[in-house]
Amino acid sequence: MSEASPERIWTHQDPDYLPPEIDTSKPSIARVYDAFLGGKDNFAVDRAIATEGMKHFPDGGGGARNNRAMLFRGVKFMTEQGIDQFLDVGSGLPTMDNTHSVAQRINPDARVVYVDNDPIVLAHARALLQTNDNTRVITADMREPEAIFEHPKVRGFLDFSRPIGLLLVAVVHHLGDDEGPAELVDTYKSRLASGSYLQLTHFCSCAPEVRALEGVLLSMLGTGRARDLKEITRFFDGLDLVEPGVVHLPEWRPDEPVRQPLDLAGNCIAGGVGRKP
Ligand code: SAM
């Protein structure tokens, strides 16, 4: 690893440089997810978990890609409804396409704040977002919503007196039952103006293979809980669910007819979009 300097920005054109805050000896959720997606921003310790997970659930990558695809369909839908500001909590690593690129293709003035507690997301996003004035990224923990809403880079940039699109996409399953995930999501919803949307997706306990993958994630990564459709639907309490409701992701407003029955990758994550009345 080469010397860090504050000016130096991590890019794939500079592969020898690694920001000092990145610990490659321990796995990270963002990097394991990137490994499932076939990305380049992961290390041996992350790939070992993805490889072990795929022994039980060979198309783990398909599940992750379905999740990204539904994320984009949801952001497109919300932007078409007039939403022009997004708070993307647990955003992960910006890949080729992302929340801001989808929203800004429709509305170039749409603002996006990415929030993640993994420093690799900030390091990577700095390079990617250098020239995008309508997009910001902060390092914060979703379990501290006030710290996010009151963050100096968020307040004043997003106007919480107007509708926003809140994204909790594939992140709430990283909370244990003892951390009160439903109550935490309720806190976020209570901060949203009427007309705001919540898009939430969640690892779904639908098959033995998913339970096996959950076992690998919990034992090797310490996090990644599958919940059933009823528990996932509970996160939308108090919101008007956008049709077709909480479903397995390929079934959420697909661009093309969906082949039934869904395969495992199609069934392993569920979610939806709800509007605050
Ligand atoms: N939302 C993206 C998507 O759906 O493509 C990324 C999902 S990835 C599976 C989960 C992300 O949530 C990771 O980047 C991880 O670092 C982040 N995360 C996990 N726990 C978090 C927490 N307590 N606070 C903020 N981010 C968290």
What is the chain written as a DSSP string? Answer: -PPP-TT----TT-TT---TT--TTS--HHHHHHHHTT-SS--HHHHHHHHHHHHHSTTHHHHHHHHHHHHHHHHHHHHHTT--EEEEET-----SS-HHHHHHHH-TT-EEEEEES-HHHHHHHHHHTTT-TTEEEEE--TT-HHHHHT-TTTBTTB-TTS--EEEEES-GGGS-GGG-HHHHHHHHHHTSPTT-EEEEEEEB--SHHHHHHHHHHHHHTS----B-HHHHHHTTTTSEEPTT-SEEGGGSS-SSPPPSS--HHHHSEEEEEEE--
Amino acid 74: pLDDT: 98
Question: Domains, the chain, ranges and CATH?
Answer: 59-206+224-275 (3.40.50.150)
Residues with CB under 6 A from ligand 1: 29-30, 33, 67-68, 71, 90-92, 116-118, 121, 141-143, 169-171, 174
Closest residue to atom 13 of ligand 1, CA basis: 30
Using most ligand atoms within 8 A of CB, pick from 70, 102, 117 the residue to mutate for ligand 1: 117
Where residue 12 falls among pLDDT bands split at 50, 70, 90? Answer: low
Amino acid 128: pLDDT: 78
Atom of ligand 1 nearest to the CA of 64: 5
Higher pLDDT, 17 or 194: 194
Highest mean pLDDT among 19-33, 114-128, 167-181: 167-181
Amino acid 6: pLDDT: 46
Amino acid 9: pLDDT: 61
pLDDT digits (tens, 9 = 90+) for 233-248: 999 999 999 999 999 9
Q: Residue 31: is its pLDDT beyond 70?
A: yes
Using most ligand atoms within 8 A of CB, pick from 96, 116, 167 the residue to mutate for ligand 1: 116
Amino acid 55: pLDDT: 95
Q: Give the mean model confidence (pLDDT) for residues 228-232.
A: 97
Amino acid 11: pLDDT: 64
Where residue 123 falls among pLDDT bands split at 50, 70, 90? Answer: confident
% of the chain exceeding 70 in pLDDT: 94
Where residue 5 falls among pLDDT bands split at 50, 70, 90? Answer: very low
Q: Give the mean model confidence (pLDDT) for residues 198-203.
A: 98
Distance 91 CA to ligand 1 centre (A): 6
Distance 93 CA to ligand 1 centre (A): 9
Higher pLDDT, 93 or 6: 93
Atom of ligand 1 nearest to the CA of 121: 14
Using most ligand atoms within 8 A of CB, pick from 167, 174, 203 the residue to mutate for ligand 1: 174
Q: Residue 1: is its pLDDT beyond 50?
A: no
Where residue 219 falls among pLDDT bands split at 50, 70, 90? Answer: very high
Amino acid 131: pLDDT: 82
Where residue 154 falls among pLDDT bands split at 50, 70, 90? Answer: very high
Where residue 41 falls among pLDDT bands split at 50, 70, 90? Answer: confident
pLDDT digits (tens, 9 = 90+) for 56-102: 999 999 999 999 999 999 999 999 999 999 999 999 987 778 999 99
